[in-house]
Amino acid sequence: MGQPAAIRAAATPTVGKAMLNKYARAFFTRVLTPFAAFLIRRGVSPDTVTLLGTAGVVAGALVFYPRGEFFWGTVVITLFVFSDLVDGNMARQLGRSSRWGAFLDSTLDRVADGAIFGGFALWYAGQGDDNMMCAVSIFCLASGQVVSYTKARGESIGLPVAVNGLVERAERLVISLVAAGFAGLHKFGVPGIQWLLPIALWIVAAGSLVTLIQRVVTVRRESAEAEAAARDASGAAK
Which residues contribute to the annotated binding site? 47-50, 84, 87-88, 92, 98, 105, 109
Domain that includes residue 172, residue range: 20-225
Q: Long-range CB contacts (< 8 A, 24+ apart) of 92-95?
A: 93/33, 93/36, 93/37, 93/40, 94/40, 94/46
Among residues 109, 113, 129, 130, the one annotated as catalytic is: 109
Q: Could you tell me if 123 and 68 are in contact, meaning their C-beta atoms sit under 8 angstroms apart?
A: yes
- Whether 232 is catalytic is no
- Which residue ranges make up the annotated binding site for a CDP-1,2-diacyl-sn-glycerol? 47-50, 88, 92, 98
Residue ranges for the known binding site for Mg(2+) are: 84, 87, 105, 109
CATH number, domain with residue 220: 1.20.120.1760
Entry pTM: 0.84
Counted domains in the chain: 1
Determine the pLDDT at residue 25. 63
CA–CA distance, 231 with 229 (Å, rounded to integer): 5
Which residues neighbour 97 within 8 Å (Cβ) at sequence distance 6 or greater?
A: 91
* Residue 87 near residue 35 (C-beta atoms within 8 A): no
120 domain-assigned = yes
Choice among 18-22, 181-185, 192-196, 213-217 with the minimum mean pLDDT: 18-22
Percent of the chain with pLDDT over 70: 88
Chain mean pLDDT for the chain: 87
Whether 10 is covered by a domain: the verdict is no
- Over the stretch 153-195, which tens digit does the pLDDT of each residue have? 999 999 999 988 899 988 999 999 999 999 999 999 999 999 9
Residues 34 and 189 sit within 8 Å (Cβ to Cβ)? no
Structural domain includes residue 36: yes
User: Is 232 contained in some domain?
Assistant: no
Structural domain includes residue 8 = no
